[in-house]
Structure 1
């Protein structure tokens, strides 16, 4: 319509060559053939506004479909505008009648063409202005003025410039487009017969159902403060002079117009908000098209006078129920600001609630199928190729990769496996919630396989689609998961020999290679007894390499992956930080520690075995190793004292008797340490290792391997008393410390006794009586350790301190065993206290604690 107005303004001085063409244009518009404006106005008064709009639309349509035989002759060389409409022909005229327009140049205007020739175009221009509202024309003028393509100014008495009206939008939403036709007189509806009222009402009702504003059915202005469903609801004012029966019937149909327009508003508001919403809007557009077909069929019936309000209500009732369900679902989605997977979840749950309404249920099922297509395409790419294609962040798996795997720091732990790909909980549809973990692992497996240099070629690519009425997508997910799991497990166990690496770790870090452990301790004892700041790591590495090649470990293919490490903290500190999952261990101040307290083996693991033997797992192995290694060192020191004390047999009986208490204490210490080692290595580590190996024979995927391996380590740590919850490891450390102090004391006093014995032997050759008297007092000479204590007193103090620590340790184990009978701690109690030697003292301590 506006294109015609532009043409009229821009080419108001065009000269029609054929008179018949001019009359055809007027006839096609419903205007009488004549030159007087008054005749045109009188004819326009008898034509309804809707007819005027239809007439103008006919001209525009005809201008686009003009036949190729039409010739346009121009007096100047410039092209004729493509938007210029050509005259419509009468029904009686031939389709091949040529129509020629001639645009006059400046010199043609001076020659004059007569007032009658210009009056026709003036009539057309005024007729078009009468057909459209002043507000719409002024809006058009505002738009064209901004673009710089404004036509010649119109008379001020025809157009009033106002702001751009609401009808100009960037989308194609009607939303009751307003056309002012107040200048066209209308017949009084109250004076019309009932049948005429019904016919006119039906015509306007069909327009209203598609979002076109009419005079009898006027939508009310939306309430800005409306909330909930009312925000997308539309109320209508019905003409008060309509018959009551018609008013009642039309009120039952008008909710359908509100539902339809609410759906259109939501489509326009959610356009471009992700793939799921775009796909849902596409399905809603198809629904809109079907609704238009229903309206067209109803209009056909109306044109043949076979439609009544009662029939229309009967025909539209099923559509109204279904449209209400669609409208209410979309409004709830919009009000809750649901997007992506949340939309699929809501629609899927809505299907279950519509069991009694099959039509609405089938419609929602169709919407869910189409809306889920882009999501299922992303899912298919992930579970079959391990690739994420998610521009709008709608998928349930998110890739958190920041740096490449090869650039990860040394202590990346298992972050690359656990944190590289994670689930986005808010993007998991309800129908995939049970399988989300399996979906995540499937893609992760495929990515690991690809990073190992192998091609990911699924056995078959099945088209993954979501159907709420079946579980076909579940079978596709399961097939993809088992394929990826089997393939990655084969890469780890067969191509990278994961079990061989695990055996090597157990051989060295759990002291399973006995001869190697003893030879290494013999070679490195002098170096490890130094302060940790004075220990040379290169020396330890050289001694380790030498020991590996002279022991039975020389046949191990992975022996070169074993290295020495000096940690800046002791075992208790390491255990605390591991259990609390702390980072930046180097931040703590360096303690005054010996090399033995800081020493640990470490194992170098390459990808993809590092998925299982990650940094946290190696740290747990190191905790077990450090406790076992420290206990083994204490045992070696006690054995060394036993060998050195054998010289006491050469002493005089009176002097040798003083050693009996020291020998007894040494044996009790040896018994406690050896039983502690036996408990950890034979009763805890070995049984758990055999259970782990047996389960590994039936494992099906890498996650099971990770779980079994972590269960093995956690069980060993717990039963070896290396957990933060039980402070038993501190008691073990104190027992080892008191044993080492006692060994140091005995070694110092041993040299004194040897010197005293030599002096007594020399004096005996000179004077036997004097030698005998000297030997009696020799053991009681004060030691250089403590000038105030004798040897016997020092031994008695060590005995008392060791006994108290051991009884406290056994008491802690008893209290823990009462809380958890499944633990194996009581086996250690029975081994250390095998003859009930400490029972009375334990009972006495319990009574004292109860009293005090």
Structure 2
């Protein structure tokens, strides 16, 4: 009981302190003037009594409010309150749209299980509605009964009214707002100084007294804040609301008498201002710099276009503020209504602010791609907004694309398009390297395959204009495409595909018909890759003697004459004169000790536009292939010469019985070498060249869709020819050096065999001379044979011991070296992962002659080493 009394006393003391503080803070501004005008004879005690009476009345009123239950006197009926709201909405809107919308919302509210006091919520919303005229009238009629229109218990204020009427000469009537809050303006006598200087009844209110200077000023009117906000919305500082030094901040004058709730509301509204200022700063900065690209300028234009509705809203708000000031401010624009009205603009400015922040350092296609990423948002309104902006932002981008696709011109002064141009590229590499894709500028809605088609279209148009001189077709098809703009990606792809098919088909048709691409490829195969057999044979026979000389003794005009003679002597004379005109002789760089075989080469000249496919790099690959095939032909020619000599000299050198086994062995080794060369030639000329050529022709006829695919098909053909023909497909990097060493060994063996046959023929001539000498002596009556003629049927002893063993030893060394190198090559080929190389190994050793000999020699070597080991034990 004592505790309850103590709490009651504390409450009374707190209420009394608050009332006294409130009355002191609400001191009128003209208090000083009224004090001076007060009659000097006025009774001071009467003023003090009047002041104490006001304090007592206010204290009693506060205690009544605190002690009341504030419970409604109505029955909780959801259907009834719903009907009341519907009737109210029907009175406001005869079209019943609001009532129907309320019915849908009420159905959702009834189904919601989270809220337990639905009737209370609806009743509260109906009570605080500002649109109810009956509520306003009831509030004005019952101004002396606070909160009576809300259905709350009437509060007896008789004593307050009586005391107020007695003090009417010194005080104003207590005013009650429609929400039941009571303001008690009063005049403070000279005892105010005593009340202010007196200590507070409770220490909890000391801080409130320290802030009394702030509340001593009149509260800032809402219309003044609205006017300031209009300036802030336009990025301009107001009187009380100013932009902060940091980005995205606004400050409100701390000395102004503004409640915390109002400050919070104003702070929310200032977001609109600094968002606009951020967007406007970006636009002005970008346009002033002068270095912004067309897409960036279009982006700024789109932002300014979207701000038109925002400016229109500001104009409407400003008109409302001016109108409301002239009429009734209580019914005009308020901060809360302003917050509702600006929500749509706030959302748009937030989106634009995000775009500005993300696209600040981007240009061209990268900027368009970044904005396009926001179309993946789940909100359809945001999708529509971004799509609408993209139509403006991407307009310059699509203009550049349109000129590139339909005219072949790259008008991109600020490098904003995803296709770039390199002016330093050589003419032969124009197609491959002059135009290329910059992936950083490629928009997300244009895939890599579509971008390659766009690149190919423009390059084809440039190729037709500058290389093929096809002005007539370009004139007929100039600008036939429709205008491109952001929108349906499928429609864009359809337009690009149509332009791609038309230009590519025209280009391939010109290359095959007018410029005879296939004929040039066939000529290279026949002459550079030695496919024209009779021509190569005549050329080899005509040049054989000349090419055996040192390289520095050759002259190009002599070789050119020999080439023309070989053409006239073969079926090559019936080829196209344009093809034969391009065939020429080329001498490689001469090194010390080189012969004509090492530096001679055929060449085939190509010009524009064929040099786009047959580039210098490709022709260099053909030259490498020719050098290897020419060396192989040289070995074949040498072996053919050795075989002819063996055949023509066999009968003549038969009497030399000492050399018969060696000469027979020479024929066997020479046959092995011929077999090796022929099988290697067959593999290269048929398994590699012919198969790759057939595949190339099929690809050109059926699979090539544009010049890129044609170049790729030729590049694949050239890779297959060089990799398989030069044995580069093998995993062993030493395969080609081994093969070249093997061919060099064959040439060395042919030279050693020629030396042996030359000696044998010289020996036959010596013996014939001896026989002729003996016959002459016999005819003169002398002895036909003398002691000096003992070597008539045999090789002289000194030659048989000194000269012949050296020749035979050299032959035997080259023969063993050939077999050893060939065996190693066969082992490598048979173990290779490429099936064609394994098949070549089978063709070279189909009866396992070399592999069997290798196994036998390996077994014999193992047996010998085993005997040595046994003997050592």
Normalised TM-score (structure 2): 0.67
Instruction: Please state how far the C-alpha of 1:373 moved relative to its aligned partner.
Output: 0.9
Q: Which residue of 2 aligns with 1:422?
A: 436
* SS state at 1:781 partner: helix
Residue 396 (structure 1) aligned to one of 395, 412, 418: 418
Q: Which residue of 1 aligns with 2:78?
A: none
Q: Which residue of 2 aligns with 1:801?
A: 817
Q: Which residue of 2 aligns with 1:339?
A: 363
Rounded Cα–Cα distance in structure 2 between residues aligned with 1:506 and 1:678 = 15
Q: Is the 8 A contact 1:464 1:473 kept in 2?
A: no
Rounded Cα–Cα distance in structure 2 between residues aligned with 1:548 and 1:251 = 95
Q: Which residue of 2 aligns with 1:320?
A: 346
* SS state at 2:446 partner: helix
Matched ranges for 1:41-60 at <5 A: none
Q: Which residue of 2 aligns with 1:810?
A: 826
Q: Is the 8 A contact 1:631 1:673 kept in 2?
A: yes
Q: Is the 8 A contact 1:442 1:480 kept in 2?
A: yes
Instruction: Please state how far the C-alpha of 1:430 moved relative to its aligned partner.
Output: 2.4
* SS state at 1:307 partner: coil
Instruction: Please state how far the C-alpha of 1:200 moved relative to its aligned partner.
Output: 1.6
Rounded Cα–Cα distance in structure 1 between residues aligned with 2:672 and 2:465 = 58
List per-residue Cα deviations over 1:722-771 (Å, max 9, x = no partner). 53973322222111111111111222221211121232345466449997
Rounded Cα–Cα distance in structure 2 between residues aligned with 1:759 and 1:465 = 95
Residue 361 (structure 1) aligned to one of 383, 392, 413: 383
Q: Which residue of 1 aligns with 2:445?
A: 431
Give the direction of change, closer, same or farther, for the CA distance of 1:591–1:390 in structure 2 (3 Å limit): farther
Structure 1 position 719 matched with structure 2 position 724: yes
Residue 258 (structure 2) aligned to one of 235, 238, 242: 242
Rounded Cα–Cα distance in structure 2 between residues aligned with 1:774 and 1:241 = 145
Q: Which residue of 2 aligns with 1:387?
A: 409
Larger mean Cα displacement after TM superposition, 503-512 or 672-681: 503-512
List per-residue Cα deviations over 1:496-532 (Å, max 9, x = no partner). 1111111111111121211111111111112212222
Q: Is the 8 A contact 2:252 2:263 kept in 1?
A: no
List per-residue Cα deviations over 1:530-560 (Å, max 9, x = no partner). 2222111110111111221231111111111
Rounded Cα–Cα distance in structure 1 between residues aligned with 2:340 and 2:484 = 37
Instruction: Please state how far the C-alpha of 1:592 moved relative to its aligned partner.
Output: 3.0
Q: Which residue of 2 aligns with 1:612?
A: 613
List per-residue Cα deviations over 1:292-333 (Å, max 9, x = no partner). 111112223333433211111112122212211210221132
Instruction: Please state how far the C-alpha of 1:662 moved relative to its aligned partner.
Output: 1.3
Q: Is the 8 A contact 1:386 1:447 kept in 2?
A: yes
Q: State the number of aligned residues.
A: 614
List per-residue Cα deviations over 1:684-739 (Å, max 9, x = no partner). 11111111111111122111111111111110111112539733222221111111
Give the direction of change, closer, same or farther, for the CA distance of 1:256–1:449 in structure 2 (3 Å limit): same
Matched ranges for 1:406-417 at <5 A: 414-417=428-431
List per-residue Cα deviations over 1:794-818 (Å, max 9, x = no partner). 2221111111111222222233x2x
Q: Is the 8 A contact 1:753 1:779 kept in 2?
A: no
Rounded Cα–Cα distance in structure 1 between residues aligned with 2:530 and 2:697 = 18
Give the direction of change, closer, same or farther, for the CA distance of 1:715–1:769 in structure 2 (3 Å limit): farther
Q: Which residue of 2 aligns with 1:742?
A: 749
Residue 463 (structure 2) aligned to one of 436, 439, 448: 448
Q: Is the 8 A contact 1:779 1:791 kept in 2?
A: no
Task: Point out where structure 2 has 5 or more consecutive residues left out of the alignment.
Answer: 1-213, 325-331, 775-783, 866-873
Normalised TM-score (structure 1): 0.68
Rounded Cα–Cα distance in structure 1 between residues aligned with 2:798 and 2:370 = 91
* SS state at 1:472 partner: helix
Rounded Cα–Cα distance in structure 2 between residues aligned with 1:846 and 1:370 = 83
Structure 1 position 756 matched with structure 2 position 757: no
Q: Is the 8 A contact 1:340 1:427 kept in 2?
A: yes
Larger mean Cα displacement after TM superposition, 417-426 or 799-808: 417-426
* SS state at 1:602 partner: strand
Q: Which residue of 1 aligns with 2:669?
A: 665
Rounded Cα–Cα distance in structure 2 between residues aligned with 1:190 and 1:427 = 63
Q: Is the 8 A contact 2:233 2:270 kept in 1?
A: yes
Which of structures 1 and 2 has the bigger CA Rg? 2
List per-residue Cα deviations over 1:370-423 (Å, max 9, x = no partner). 1111111111111111111122122222222248xxxx6xxx7x4232222222
Instruction: Please state how far the C-alpha of 1:654 moved relative to its aligned partner.
Output: 4.7
Q: Is the 8 A contact 1:528 1:595 kept in 2?
A: yes
Q: Is the 8 A contact 2:830 2:842 kept in 1?
A: no
List per-residue Cα deviations over 1:154-190 (Å, max 9, x = no partner). xxxxxxxxxxxxxxxxxxxxxxxxxxxxxxxxxx997
Task: Point out where structure 1 has 5 or more consecutive residues left out of the alignment.
Answer: 1-187, 223-231, 570-589
Structure 1 position 706 matched with structure 2 position 711: yes
Rounded Cα–Cα distance in structure 1 between residues aligned with 2:507 and 2:858 = 56
Larger mean Cα displacement after TM superposition, 840-849 or 645-654: 840-849
Instruction: Please state how far the C-alpha of 1:439 moved relative to its aligned partner.
Output: 1.7
Q: Which residue of 2 aligns with 1:622?
A: 623
Give the direction of change, closer, same or farther, for the CA distance of 1:779–1:715 in structure 2 (3 Å limit): farther
Rounded Cα–Cα distance in structure 2 between residues aligned with 1:190 and 1:211 = 32
Matched ranges for 1:441-480 at <5 A: 441-451=456-466, 452-455=468-471, 456-457=474-475, 458=477, 461-468=480-487, 470-480=489-499
* SS state at 1:471 partner: helix
Q: Is the 8 A contact 1:661 1:795 kept in 2?
A: no
Q: Which residue of 2 aligns with 1:330?
A: 356
Rounded Cα–Cα distance in structure 1 between residues aligned with 2:790 and 2:644 = 27
Rounded Cα–Cα distance in structure 1 between residues aligned with 2:662 and 2:440 = 77
Larger mean Cα displacement after TM superposition, 601-610 or 759-768: 759-768
Rounded Cα–Cα distance in structure 2 between residues aligned with 1:744 and 1:266 = 86
List per-residue Cα deviations over 1:43-73 (Å, max 9, x = no partner). xxxxxxxxxxxxxxxxxxxxxxxxxxxxxxx
Rounded Cα–Cα distance in structure 2 between residues aligned with 1:762 and 1:301 = 139
Higher helix residue share: 2
Rounded Cα–Cα distance in structure 2 between residues aligned with 1:616 and 1:835 = 41
